[in-house]
């Protein structure tokens, strides 16, 4: 999934109230945040607690 796909999912949810689109978007965002945190730790931007 790409950022463009995320925008399409948001559009689908906001116009059609498509619950599946929202669930996919939330999953994508959750995975994106988890991957960003992992990358930041590897780069030394944030420290392990």
For 8-39, the pLDDT digits (tens) are 999 999 999 999 999 999 999 999 999 998 89
Q: Using a cut of 0.85, tell me whether the model's pTM lies above it.
A: no
Which residue in this structure is represented by tokens 């990358």?
Answer: 39
The Cα–Cα gap between 15 and 9 comes to: 10
Q: How far apart are CA 13 and CA 18, in angstroms?
A: 5
More confident residue, 44 or 22: 22
Distance in angstroms (rounded) separating the CA atoms of residues 19 and 30 = 16
Q: Which position has the token pair 């959750």?
A: 30
Torsions phi, psi for 47 (to 5 deg): -100, 150
* pLDDT for 49 beyond 80: no
Q: How far apart are the first and last CA of the chain?
A: 30
């Amino acid at each position: 999934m790409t950022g463009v796909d995320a925008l399409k999912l948001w559009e689908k949810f906001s116009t059609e109230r498509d619950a599946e689109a929202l669930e996919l978007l939330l999953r994508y965002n959750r995975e994106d945040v988890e991957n960003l945190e992992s990358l930041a730790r590897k780069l030394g931007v944030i420290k392990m607690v």
